[in-house]
Chain A
């Protein structure tokens, strides 16, 4: 048995409309999700996240797709009995009660009646909806429907659970509960694939993430892997007109000489520059803040000493680990212009 729950190569999808040019949604997605991990998929609006999930769940037919889902080709209907799915913007019938929704989708997944009954009780308990199980969904809040949605995704005891925006419309308490549920699912050995905009939520639960931009995977890996080399120390001295000069002089002479002109540093009209330490680490000066791109605290000690020797008052010194949001923003920002990319998977004519 492969240790990959999802293994995709070159998945592409073009939406075609009569008499119109095909619109690309995915342009060759390569993605691997390991068994037993929580995998987060993120990307800006129109990046193709939901299209990818729908292709996995056979809701959409791909233009091209090589790969497997739980060891079978993508599109194999029988495999879906082992997959749980919560779609984005789902709409459960309002005439059903919470328990009936779980029972119905369990039956559709082929779960025997007795097992459905037993699991429905457990799942309602898990998502905190036991007391509401006999009331019709039309009386539920959005958060309650979302909880029922998660419960129905688990009724078939799935090996893989795909959750598309699971915390959509859920209040902070509900989000925490859903996060706990996801952790419990993971503890049970299931693979969880989450598509979400809420980066902090994803960061809290994901083992690995992929960032989808313009229909292709821009980055994929653990957060540590993706942020490797992006850890930094930030040093802030008291706010004064001379703060920037003080920090500039605290840097080694060679760094000052190597510093790029302001116009090329991207900090035009601001007090600062970008340069390199003799050991090769990048430094960035921005007003009264100096950023040293390193994980090694020893490298910033001489700078601190020189600032203090010059009479500077260090107000803040912190080790900064890039967040998922930083990674996300990096992925969706044009490095040359600094502008965020426009929604959709079509390549822009000119950035």
Chain B
């Protein structure tokens, strides 16, 4: 075994020992076990969703609308990954690991590591990677338990569930690289943790803005399409009327008698046309304006890590098109009101399909590429500082 491998392995084992010595590691692991146990207690049959031997009749989903394998996969993708791994476990992991770099560079501790035959950049990067051991172990345990659960209870043995391990570790590493940088600069675990939380909050705000504006844009597009359809219908009616009048030898009222908003014969034949066209133009203008704002948010997000999109990669991997269709057809309401007008409704299925298409329109390569690029820049700055600093 070469010296480099020996050193790397020793640092990884040390990181595990450090984390295992803390209570938070075991608390997080126990909570993961509890969540998997709750998932295991939930079931689905023809009558609906069950919890142990109770039927949860208030949830209008049955095994006929949602297959058991999809039910468990959806629990994993909707609650397990984004809520538990992406939120709670990540916060606990940040709290656990925020001190790794500040403790590592503390006086009396760093001297011994630097005095070993290992380059500073490799030393820092190995220490950084060893900090990800916490998340890797937690996500590994949770994902494996979910893989077994989906297999046993849902009857679908999907090894791709285990892809959650690299995906969630990557997601966490976006935050951890910021935490490591701040820990290196401030030498304080508390400062690193709080400033990382602020950074995360900023990303969350941008993501929410992206999601909200994206959804509003889709709604506005759908509304505009509906209004366009109404305009086309009204135009057709007007043309038919004009045609009929010509055949019958009838004439439109003289131009002087037209209402002020009526400009053409077509509009005179169908007086609803101007208001319909105005309404359509308004929604087209709203769509344009929302598109501009949305583009602005997307550009602001571009150099930053894509936390939500990274986790959503799992949806793309684990759910087929048929799964998406099945999930979108479970709702009873086919029409939903829009944010612009309660009276004007849009097709729920179409809306969801477009929102998903909008999200998935961003390629995995661009999501991962820009995020990993950000991480590389942060780690590059860390290595530069660490390599030049006197301890």
Contact = CB atoms under 8 A, between A and B. Distances in A.
A60 B389 CA distance: 8
B10 A107 contact: yes
B116 A80 contact: yes
A95 B115 contact: no
Interface of A: 15, 54, 57-61, 77-81, 83, 85, 87-93, 95-96, 100, 103-105, 107-113, 152
Main SS at interface, chain B: helix
B391 A59 contact: yes
A105 B388 CA distance: 23
A81 B111 contact: no
Contact of B3 (A81, A91, A96, A113): A81
Sorted nearest first, the 6 A-B pairs with minimum C-beta distance are A107-B10, A110-B3, A95-B21, A91-B108, A57-B115, A87-B111
A80 to B, nearest CB: 5
A107 B9 contact: yes
A269 B106 CA distance: 53
Given A54-B111, A89-B108, A109 B17 contact: no
Contacts of B14: 93, 96, 104
Which of B11, B106, B109, B112 gathers most chain A CB within 10 Å? B112
B117 A57 contact: no
Contact of B6 (A79, A96, A107): A107
A57 B6 contact: no
B159 interface: no
B10 A59 contact: no
A59 B111 contact: yes
A93 B18 contact: yes
Contacts of B332: none
B1, B10, B114, B116: residue with the most chain A Cβ atoms closer than 10 Å: B116
Contact of B116 (A96, A103, A105): A105
Given A89-B107, A90-B108, A95-B21, A59 B114 contact: yes
Interface of B: 1, 3, 6-7, 9-11, 13-14, 17-18, 21, 106-119, 388, 390-391
B111 A112 contact: no
Contacts of B117: 77-81, 109-110
A59 B115 contact: yes
A109 B9 CA distance: 12
Contacts, number: 90
Given A93-B109, A107-B9, 18 more contacts: A54-B111, A59-B111, A77-B117, A87-B111, A87-B115, A89-B107, A89-B108, A90-B111, A91-B107, A91-B108, A92-B112, A93-B14, A93-B17, A104-B10, A108-B11, A108-B116, A109-B117, A111-B6
Contacts of B18: 93, 95
Given A108-B10, A110-B7, A58 B115 contact: yes
Contacts of B112: 85, 87, 90, 92, 105, 108, 152
Given A91-B109, A93-B14, A95-B18, A112 B114 contact: no
22 contacts: A57-B114, A59-B110, A59-B390, A59-B391, A60-B391, A61-B390, A77-B119, A78-B117, A81-B3, A83-B115, A87-B108, A87-B111, A90-B108, A92-B112, A93-B17, A95-B17, A105-B112, A108-B11, A110-B6, A111-B6, A112-B6, A113-B6
Contacts of A15: 390
A80 B115 contact: yes
A17 B106 CA distance: 19
Contacts of B116: 80-81, 105, 108-109
A83 B107 CA distance: 20
A134 to B, nearest CB: 14
Contacts of A54: 111, 390-391
A77 B7 contact: no
Contacts of B108: 87-91
A31 B21 CA distance: 44
A131 B111 CA distance: 27
Contacts of A85: 111-112, 115
Contacts of A89: 107-108
B1 A108 contact: no
Contacts of B113: 108
Nearest to A106: B10
A58 B391 CA distance: 10
B109 A96 contact: no
A109 to B, nearest CB: 6
Nearest to A80: B117
Nearest to B109: A91
A2 B216 CA distance: 77
B114 A108 contact: no
A42 to B, nearest CB: 20
B106 to A, nearest CB: 6
A277 to B, nearest CB: 53
A81 B391 CA distance: 20
A91 B17 contact: no
A107 B388 CA distance: 25
B189 to A, nearest CB: 15
Contacts of A58: 114-115
